[in-house]
Amino acid sequence: MTQEMPNSLIEFARAAQGALAPADWDYLTEGALPGQAGGDNVHAWNALRVRPRVLRGVAQADISTTVLGARISSPIFVAPNGRATRYHPEGERAIVRATAAKGAGALLASSVGASIGALRASAPNALLWSQLYISGDRGFIKDRVELAHASGAGAIVLTVDLLPDANALKPPPLKPVAWETPKNGEPAPLFTGASIDDLAWLCDISPLPVVVKGVLRADDAAECVAAGARGLIVSNHGGNQVQDAIASATALPEIVSACGGRAEIYVDGGIRSGATILKAIALGARAVMVGRPFSHALAVGGEQGVAACLALLEHELQRAMLLCGASRVSDINRDLLAA
């Protein structure tokens, strides 16, 4: 039976609040301190103003693009907020099926309810990237990379901006499932003492391109690219790690400039509309990562909800492009934003 879906991201959020347990809703909404919402990302995007072009003869807008050489239907990736089965029984299976049907991309959380191989089997054509947190156990990291490669993942996304005991981890992480438990049976602890040498080692041993998530500074960005990263995700972890961290929209331009086209740049945090996506691309992002809205949609309608949320954002992006005289994603540039 087809379920009627909300027709805006705000409505998805309202419906999700009613569908989720209070602890899970708080997990999605809290910032770096209990009760503090990570709203600075949204405000930073809203502060940017668009300068539309008119009378450009644009009747259609092609929103497809490529990421690391793979073509996707739009510059939108579904980003993780922990294990997706926290929000819906189908979890990542629903996300993967919905994105594969549309030709979109999905970044899988480091802890998923089913193995990457099982998710790949449920949607053979899906574009999947696999998240990885750095660990002091290099053997564990190598096993995870090999599993991701064997399962057809398109990239390894190394997330570098999380402290294991941060408040944002409430409620406690779900128990590791059998497939992700190291061979010795003990979970591999996160390695807060990681350095650029650990990234260089990962880039050297990985048969997949490595993308670094959690970069907010130009100097860090340049070092990551020099160490072998093929892409960077400008991110402050949804505002729930460092209190008062710079917003993603504010950090994006300097990182794009620092990399000088040597790596693809993506951004997450506060993406809430097609116009926001247009702004991100105008600032130099190759694609955006959208987390909380898709978690809301998953909680409300499972696979159908994710598909509806994706269709909504893609429609809004097309409309924004038409109103700005952009027929292709490559037509979106800095000139569309007020100085």
* Overall average pLDDT of the 73-82 stretch: 93
DSSP structure class, residue 99:
H
* pLDDT band for position 36 (cuts 50, 70, 90): very low
As a CATH number, domain 9-336 is 3.20.20.70
Domain boundaries, the chain: 9-336
pLDDT at 175 (0 to 100): 56
Per-residue b or e along 104-118, where b marks 16 or more CB atoms closer than 10 Å to that residue's CB: bbbbbbbbbbbebee
Q: Is 149 part of the annotated catalytic residue set?
A: no
Residue 37 has pLDDT above 50, yes or no: no
* pLDDT band for position 40 (cuts 50, 70, 90): confident
pLDDT at 167 (0 to 100): 46
Residue 122 has pLDDT above 50, yes or no: yes
Residue 10 has pLDDT above 60, yes or no: yes
Mean pLDDT score of the chain, rounded to an integer? 88
* pLDDT band for position 32 (cuts 50, 70, 90): very low
Beta-bridge mates of residue 132: 158
Residue that wins the pLDDT comparison between 134 and 9:
9
pLDDT at 163 (0 to 100): 64
**pLDDT tens digit sequence for 83-93:** 898 899 999 99
**pLDDT tens digit sequence for 286-305:** 999 999 999 999 999 999 99
Q: Are 336 and 281 in contact (CB under 8 A)?
A: no
Residue among 43, 149, 237, 296 flagged as catalytic: 237
* Overall average pLDDT of the 83-108 stretch: 94
Residue 162 has pLDDT above 80, yes or no: no
* Overall average pLDDT of the 148-168 stretch: 80
